[in-house]
Amino acid sequence: MPKLWNETIAEHRRTVREATLETTAALVAEHGLASVTMSQIAKETGIGRATLYKYFPDVESILAAWHEGHVSAHLEHLTRIRDRAGTPGERLAAVLQAYADITHERPQHTEIAAVVHRGEHLAHAEQHLNALVRDLITDAAQAGDIRDDVAPAELASYCLHALGAAGSLPSKAAVHRLVAVTLAGLNLSPSTPDAAGGDD
């Protein structure tokens, strides 16, 4: 791939890193973790084996980095949605809908999950997500958009657990219904009652 060498070294490194992450995730998803080797990853990525080892010590660490990138991107996405205009209730509903969509679309590779879910970055990301939803709930409760008889942290945990059901739902429509049911638990009155599917 000669084009790479026209770019700066930093860009080149980022490109190699990204290519390695995506190649590895695809190989593990297709063949299973046990049968994927560093040599195979180097070959598929189009880099030398020695070069690959300068980036990552083993397959597990590549998967962890791949997962960390996805989790960070999801958090940024949710943060952008949180910062849009709207009442606290509307912004809460939009963030929960987006979280349910992410959960629904996330590939359910149980093998990859078992490896990457040990990582510390995931604990941080979960805390971040919990805090984001909890603060939105606090604002919405203070604005009178949702119930205020249960602590925001408890309601955040309820929401995130309930929306976990999106992972095994068959359709976007079912995910939409799940979000509506979850919001009903918060006593959120829909802001657009007569506009079906009217989320952002």
Q: Which residues bind its own copies (CB under 8 A)?
A: 114, 147, 150, 154-155, 157-158, 160-165, 168-169, 174, 177-178, 180-187
Task: Kindly tell me which of 85 and 195 has the beta carbon lying closer to its own copies.
Answer: 195
Residue 75 and residue 129 in contact, taking contact as beta carbons nearer than 8 Å = yes
To its own copies, the closest distance from the beta carbon of 147 in angstroms equals 8
The Cα–Cα gap between 128 and 109 comes to 23
Task: Kindly tell me which of 23 and 182 has the beta carbon lying closer to its own copies.
Answer: 182
To its own copies, the closest distance from the beta carbon of 133 in angstroms equals 12
The Cα–Cα gap between 137 and 151 comes to 9
To its own copies, the closest distance from the beta carbon of 183 in angstroms equals 8
To its own copies, the closest distance from the beta carbon of 1 in angstroms equals 40
The Cα–Cα gap between 149 and 153 comes to 12
Task: Kindly tell me which of 38 and 174 has the beta carbon lying closer to its own copies.
Answer: 174
- Nearest residue to 82 (alpha-carbon basis) of 133, 153, 127: 133
Task: Kindly tell me which of 131 and 181 has the beta carbon lying closer to its own copies.
Answer: 181
The Cα–Cα gap between 188 and 184 comes to 6
The Cα–Cα gap between 114 and 173 comes to 29
Task: Kindly tell me which of 41 and 64 has the beta carbon lying closer to its own copies.
Answer: 64
To its own copies, the closest distance from the beta carbon of 134 in angstroms equals 13
Written as six digits, the tokens of 199 are 């989320």
